[in-house]
Amino acid sequence: MKLHYDFHIHSCLSPCGDSDMTPNNIVNFAKLMGYDAIALTDHNTALNCPAVAKIAEKNGITFIPGMELCTSEEVHIVCLFYTLEDALSFSDYVKSTMPPIKNKPSVFGEQLICDENDNVIGQEETLLVTASGISTERVVKKVQEYNGICYPAHIDRSSFSILSNLGVIDEYFGFKCAEIFDITKEDELKQKHPYLNQLKILSDSDAHYLENMRLPQQTVDVAENTVKAILDYLNC
Amino acid sequence: MTVKELQKKLNLQYICNEGLAEEKEVTGCYCGDLLSWVMSKATDGDAWLTVMGNVTSIGVAVLTEVACIILTENAPADADAIKRAEENDVVILGTEKNAYQVAVEISKLI
């Protein structure tokens, strides 16, 4: 079955994410737009995933707990997990590798942790938009240790992408998928980097504001609409 | 030396906040493009030489209290970055020279 997906969405916990990106707004907006499956991928944290998971379950939308990891070379990687527990354990690990720089909300934005009623139950004090201690060459194996899968984010962007920062993408990294933000660039990128022909190409919104969430365009063809079926597909 | 004096001597182009260049004092120089690294290494008063003209760079400049950002090799500044720099009083300059060339000149001046 073909599922409309968006596996790269930020909440109000990402400093650059709008305060309107609350768990309920994200899920309800995604449902309204007709998505079958979404993931939450805040920068270097999964702490808003429990709230989104509860709301998604009530609304009958498949939810994949995730994170947009910043590697030590500042390459952004979408990480997706089979369970909330795995995502949260990975989140703890990532935090232990980050520099203890405090967020300055007036400059970077607030980092709000919410419950399932959109109540703010805490603020992440460590600045989340810094590099973790995980290198890009180790990321696939590291995420596998937490039963997750991962792929390089917005490879067509001029910053924080594997192509802008490292210049290449090849089998060495072990990725099975890659994300292109502007899918019209797919052919051009494949010509320049033929290895992309061997990967599944995904396109997500990377929404930081509700208005960045776009109408469903891309689909994945999976056996059934479950987290397991989706991640098994992305991982094969 | 002020950012304004540095701009004149190195013939840098203003990208934003020209009006603040006279009050910002340059006491050092730092070169780096890996933002997390710069965040923990650059010090206040540095002229920061980089090719990273995105919105996070502005956050790094505010956090480290560098005197200015100098975008080398004609690296562009995003519209969002310029807006954020204006809001946070960050002076951005540009040059066609590379970081090495600019740093060498700065070392002769301070």
Contact yes or no for B36 and A99 at CB 8 A: yes
Is residue B37 less than 8 Å (CB to CB) from chain A?
yes
Residue whose tokens read 């019209």: A184
Q: What is the mean pLDDT of residues B55-65?
A: 94
Q: For the purposes of burial, counting CB atoms within 10 Å of the CB of A83, is it exposed (0-12), middle (13-18) or buried (19 or more)?
A: middle
pLDDT in tens, A162-184: 999 999 999 999 999 999 999 99
CB-CB contact of A178 with A202 (8 Å):
yes
pLDDT in tens, B67-76: 999 999 999 9
Q: What is the mean pLDDT of residues B76-105?
A: 97
Residue to test with chain A: of B56, B65, B83, B88, most A Cβ within 10 A: B56
CA distance to partner chain A, nearest, from residue B48 (Å): 18
Nearest-5° Cα angle at B37, B36 to B39: 65
Contact yes or no for B59 and A101 at CB 8 A: no
3-state SS string for chain A: CEEEEECCECCCCCCCCCCCCCHHHHHHHHHHHCCCEEEECEECECCCHHHHHHHHHHHCCEEEEEEEEECCCCCEEEEEECCHHHHHHHHHHHHHHCCCCECCHHHHCCCEEECCCCCEEEECCECCCCCCCCCCCCHHHHHHHCCEEEEECCCCCCCCCHHHHCCCCCHHHCCCEEECCCHHHHHHHHHHCHHHHHCEEECCCCECCHHHCCCCCCEEECCCCCHHHHHHHHCC
Using left for φ > 0, alpha for ψ between -120 and 50, and beta otherwise, residue A28 falls in alpha
* CA Rg value for chain A: 16
Question: What's the whole-number average pLDDT of chain B?
Answer: 96
Task: In whole angstroms, give the CA distance from residue A201 to residue A179.
Answer: 6
Contact yes or no for B54 and A108 at CB 8 A: no
Chain A positions in Cβ-Cβ contact with residue B40 (cut-off 8 Å): 99, 101
Tell me the longest C-alpha to C-alpha distance in chain A: 48
Residue A170's pLDDT is: 92
* pLDDT > 70 fraction of chain B, expressed in percent and rounded: 100
**Could you give all domains of chain A from N- to C-terminal order, each with its CATH number?**
2-234 (3.20.20.140)
User: Among the residues of B1-110, which ranges form H helices?
Assistant: 3-10, 35-41, 55-64, 79-87, 99-109
Contact yes or no for A108 and B59 at CB 8 A: yes
Point out the residues of chain A with pLDDT beneath 50. Answer: none
Q: Distance from CA of residue B34 to its chain's centroid?
A: 14
CA distance to partner chain A, nearest, from residue B99 (Å): 17
Contact yes or no for B62 and A159 at CB 8 A: no
A70 to chain B: closest CA residue? B36
Q: Is the ipTM of this complex over 0.90?
A: no
**Beta bridge partners of residue B42, listed in sequence order:** none
Contact yes or no for B36 and A74 at CB 8 A: yes
Contact yes or no for A130 and B36 at CB 8 A: yes
Task: In whole angstroms, give the CA distance from residue A150 to residue A65.
Answer: 12
Task: In whole angstroms, give the CA distance from residue B79 to residue B97.
Answer: 22
Rounded to two decimals, what is the model's pTM?
0.91
CA distance to partner chain B, nearest, from residue A191 (Å): 25
Residue A231's pLDDT is: 98
Q: Which CATH architecture has domain B3-109?
A: 3-Layer(aba) Sandwich (3.40)
B38 to chain A: closest CA residue? A130
**Beta bridge partners of residue A177, listed in sequence order:** A200
* pLDDT > 90 fraction of chain B, expressed in percent and rounded: 95
Which uninterrupted H or E stretch holds B28? strand B28-31
CB-CB contact of A14 with A111 (8 Å):
yes
Residue B60's pLDDT is: 95
Each domain of chain B, given as residue ranges in start order, spans 3-109
